[in-house]
Amino acid sequence: MYDIIIIGAGPAGLTAALYARRAEKSVLLIEKETFGGQITHSPRVENYPGFISMSGSELGEKLFEQVLAQGAEIELDTVTGISGEAGHITVTCEGGIHEGKTAIIATGSRHRDLGVENEEKFVGEGISYCAVCDGAFYKGKTVAVIGGGNSALQEAVLLSEGCTHVTVVQNLPFLTGEPSLQNILAKRDNVSFIYSTVVAAILGEDTFEGLLLRNTDTGEETVLNVDGTFVCIGQVPANQAFADVVKLNDYGYVAAGENCLPETTIPGVFVAGDCRTKAIRQVTTATADGAVAALAACRYLDAL
């Protein structure tokens, strides 16, 4: 039986494993896809303290190597559920079961995709999901922002400060973001809006060239030539396997605050990173969550 089983090996899960091992707890880290999480898709990371610039994959590798060096055990598998009681938690995977005294859910969330051909091909090379992370790479260039909610409008405001032109593409005939954000953008000469329109295709063979747009009312298709596109149509957390153990909000995120303590039916279950309710989802807030959750789990173990 492990002291701590960590589900998810993104920045939150890896940091939790690091802190738990340094506290001399036995750790099993379970990941279903990529060690390092979503950050590995970013071609350059320039907002992580201590590093001027590096790729997301480099950051993921460094975190992973650090955890391995500390002696955490690794399992590549998909978790399908959690059950048990205080001090004895069973984590069920497609490939078997594992037992631990505590568990940390750090499954993260993924950006909702457009669902069109070539989207994955150009992620990090024309398609982005975070202006804070990648906006500086498009300074002096033209970009599109897909979406009309608060997140999309906030991205557009940030991008308009450095880009020559920002085109906001909304699938509805109106914006749904806050009026204050709409007013800011309406006053900027380098921002324009296209309504009742969706992305029908991404243009380009070897390099990103722009978007094929389709009007949802008329079916008319037009080409929008831009240097990059920021997709802001929501995120999808990966928490359904734990819906009977922890409380999820209406959007599927684990209801938990900065203490990383969810409302749960099993004592000793904690949550960290983008899969929980929070205002800011960045690599630094994910690593912070990992530290908080691991230390909370260690305190819980010490009290058993």
Angle between helices 150-160 and 179-186 (to 10 degrees): 30
Exposed (0-12), middle (13-18) or buried (19+): which is 209, by Cβ within 10 Å? middle
**Three-class SS of residue 42?**
coil
DSSP secondary structure, 85-151, as one string? ETTEEEEEETTEEEEEEEEEE---EEEPP---TTTGGGBTTTEES-HHHHGGGGTTSEEEEE--SHH
CA distance 118 to 47: 28
Amino acid at position 275, single letter: C
Gyration radius of the chain's alpha carbons: 21
- Active-site residue, from 133, 163, 232, 275: 133
- Active-site residue, from 77, 93, 113, 130: 130
Structure tokens at 39: 């950050």
Query: Does the annotation mark 302 as catalytic?
Result: no
CA distance 280 to 185: 22
Query: Does the annotation mark 189 as catalytic?
Result: no
Exposed (0-12), middle (13-18) or buried (19+): which is 31, by Cβ within 10 Å? buried
For 52, other C-beta atoms within 10 Å of its C-beta total 7
Please list the residues that pair with 5 across neighbouring strands: 28, 103
- Active-site residue, from 3, 134, 227, 274: 134
Query: Does the annotation mark 133 as catalytic?
Result: yes
Structure tokens at 25: 């707890």
Helix (H) or strand (E) holding 165: strand 165-169
CA distance 82 to 148: 37
- Where in the sequence numbering do the catalytic residues fall? 130, 133-134
